[in-house]
């Protein structure tokens, strides 16, 4: 492995990336698929590349072609049964979303106690990790855009419109946005309560994902914003060890 590596978190909607050189993070970025200019500039011959993708086949093919054009052979990461002291207890460990797995690995670096990892993106996942590093399981719910899309498709009177959060909304756009925020925050709060009951202590709550900032002000449980959590997990796997 060279001293320089590019980390790619390929989500359903956007691509997030970071460049690590000699242990220092010196560049990060995010873009829509097809906008490769900034990333391409970082794909040098001496670069190792690690990709965690939950994107579709078309996006993965685009990434593969980009790497090939740059003369690089990337490592495509997958969820495994374990990494360091993090144990994956999914019934089929390799079916766990690799982004969720990377988030859990990174969360273990930040917390040696029970921790809840909420990733708010196209979908929202809320995953529980025990103080011993055992992945206990998690829930998946539609994210902000998918919830709004479902309401527009399934009802006759709700139209596209930018609403804001209100405790007591008095118009439809605000009612939709406030309901979505309440649903997402409620899912996190419920899983937080379940983990607190099991661990006999309030767990830490780490929040990541592109829409994290939209729900963080409204959470009823203390939470820490970790925008690069998945990339941190990718880097941890790339280094082959969990930092103590």
Active site annotation includes 99: yes
Q: Which residues of 113-173 form beta strands (DSSP E)?
A: 115-120, 123-129, 134-142
Region for residue 84 given its phi and psi (left: phi exceeds 0; alpha: psi -120 to 50; beta: otherwise): left
Using the structure block, give the residue that is written with the tokens 């207890």.
89
Sign, CA torsion 93/99/100/105: positive
Can you read off the two tokens belonging to residue 160? 């596209």
CA atoms of 100 and 118, how far apart (whole Å):
9
The rounded distance, in Å, linking the Cα atoms of 230 and 97 is 11
Distance CA 201, CA 211 (A): 28
Cα Rg, the chain, nearest whole Å: 19
On the CB side of 61, how many CA atoms lie within 13 Å of its CA? 3
Which residue in 22, 46, 48, 99 is the catalytic one?
A: 99
* Residue 84 DSSP code: T
Query: CA-CA distance, 180 to 149, in Å (whole number)?
Result: 11
Q: Which residues are catalytic?
A: 99
């Amino acid at each position: 492995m060279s001293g320089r590596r590019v980390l790619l978190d390929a989500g359903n909607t956007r691509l997030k990336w970071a460049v690590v050189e000699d242990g220092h993070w010196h560049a990060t970025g995010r873009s829509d698929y097809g906008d490769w200019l900034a990333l391409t500039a970082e794909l040098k011959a001496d670069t190792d590349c690690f990709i965690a993708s939950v994107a579709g086949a078309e996006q993965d093919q685009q990434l593969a072609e980009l790497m090939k054009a740059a003369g690089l052979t990337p490592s495509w990461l997958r969820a495994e049964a374990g990494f360091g002291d993090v144990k994956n207890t999914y019934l089929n460990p390799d079916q766990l979303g690799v982004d969720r797995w990377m988030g859990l690995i990174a969360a273990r670096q930040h917390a040696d106690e029970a921790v809840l990892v909420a990733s708010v993106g196209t979908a929202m996942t809320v995953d529980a990790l025990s103080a011993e590093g055992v992945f206990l399981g998690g829930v998946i719910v539609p994210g902000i855009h998918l919830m709004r899309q479902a309401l527009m498709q399934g009802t006759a009177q709700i139209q596209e419109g930018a609403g804001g959060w209100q405790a007591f909304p008095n118009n439809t756009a605000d009612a939709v946005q406030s309901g979505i925020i309440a649903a997402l925050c409620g899912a996190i709060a419920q899983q937080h309560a379940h983990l607190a009951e099991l661990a006999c202590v309030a767990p830490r709550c780490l929040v990541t994902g592109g829409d994290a900032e939209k729900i963080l002000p409204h959470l009823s449980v203390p939470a820490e914003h970790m925008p690069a959590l998945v990339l941190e997990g990718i880097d941890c796997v790339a280094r082959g060890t969990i930092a103590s």
